[in-house]
Structure 1
């Protein structure tokens, strides 16, 4: 075999190998895309299944037409509106048991306002909701909630009663230094309400 024929043969074999490699690569890409689509489908089905299990959760309260009086923070000044993100809700004390019913599973931007009437949560692009003062239980600083883990104290967790379910909702302020003041204000409110109910006794 002459040198020219040898070179032509090698070139043909290389071209054939290149074609074979591209076919294999294309097969891998298609397979990977199908796998990703299948995983995404499973996640959506799991989300729907969890939502159906939580269908007994009542509709979320909405804010009253008349705004309540602003709650005072440290120094006697009105507690500032908290702007940041809503990171989800879980069954209280079970940080992996995500609640998805009524849009509570959707992360979003959030704007929180605390008045003597309760906690108003405005969420652009998602369902707003309102937690009446009598349904607030406590607030604390924590580092994680379902699907989100931050540094210690990176989340403001608000615990509230909704129907028969005790819920933990996680928020993160754009100014994390506000978390402590917010937790203190909510806990002060809940203590005052508890003391008032205990002192006055049940209504007759």
Structure 2
């Protein structure tokens, strides 16, 4: 009587090793792409430093930071200066700007004069969230960027959109009034 072979161990081990090599090569290529993108974006100016006094809170929430993109292009992820790293985030909006405290990543400070608006959207930087994201638009030394946040309570997104848009409008009006008052 001939016993059927249950396992062909050499083939099993060979396929497993081959699969691990393929996964390793894909990971290496993804890492090279990330580094290439960081090199391309190396001319992006440094992020504003978080001031010692951020001001009186208008809104506070917690959630996740999903990344930043160039404004209007939700798939063009910005990875320079740690903007590509997803993380938890504690958000605080004050009259001086927006602070995103990110454990494990550099905190993100968006001064009020650099805020250009906010909206809700379904995705940013390759991340699509059916319940929506809070997307804050801002300027970094003339470069328009969008940063996406998913608050722990998505029903708060509308209040954030209104508050950020109001702050951006006030700072734009103040800046316009100051420049109109200057005589050449």
Secondary structure of 1:143's aligned partner = strand
From 68, 74, 91, give the equivalent of 1:112.
91
Deviation at 1:202, TM superposition (A): 4.7
Give the Å deviation of 1:196: 2.3
- Between the aligned partners of 1:67 and 1:87, the Cα distance in structure 2 is 23
Whether 1:85 and 2:64 are equivalent positions in the alignment is: yes
**Bigger Cα Rg:** 1
Structure 1 runs of 4+ aligned residues shifted over 4 Å read none
With normalisation by structure 1, the TM-score equals 0.84
Deviation digits for residues 102-158 of structure 1 (CA, Å, limit 9, x no counterpart): 111110000111111111110001111201110000100000011210115x10000
The whole-number CA distance in structure 2 between the counterparts of 1:24 and 1:111 is 50
RMSD between superposed Cα atoms in Å: 1.5
* Equivalence for 1:52: 39
Q: Which has the higher helix share?
A: 1
- 1:4 is matched with none
Tell me, yes or no, if structure 1 residue 191 matches structure 2 residue 169: yes
Q: Which has the higher mean CA deviation after the structures are superposed, 137-146 or 58-67?
A: 58-67
Deviation at 1:82, TM superposition (A): 1.2
1:103 & 1:88 partners in 2: Cα distance? 9
TM-score computed with the length of structure 2 as normaliser: 0.93
Gaps of 5+ in 2: none
* Equivalent pairs, count: 182
**Could you say which structure has the higher strand fraction?**
2
Residue of structure 2 equivalent to 1:169: 147
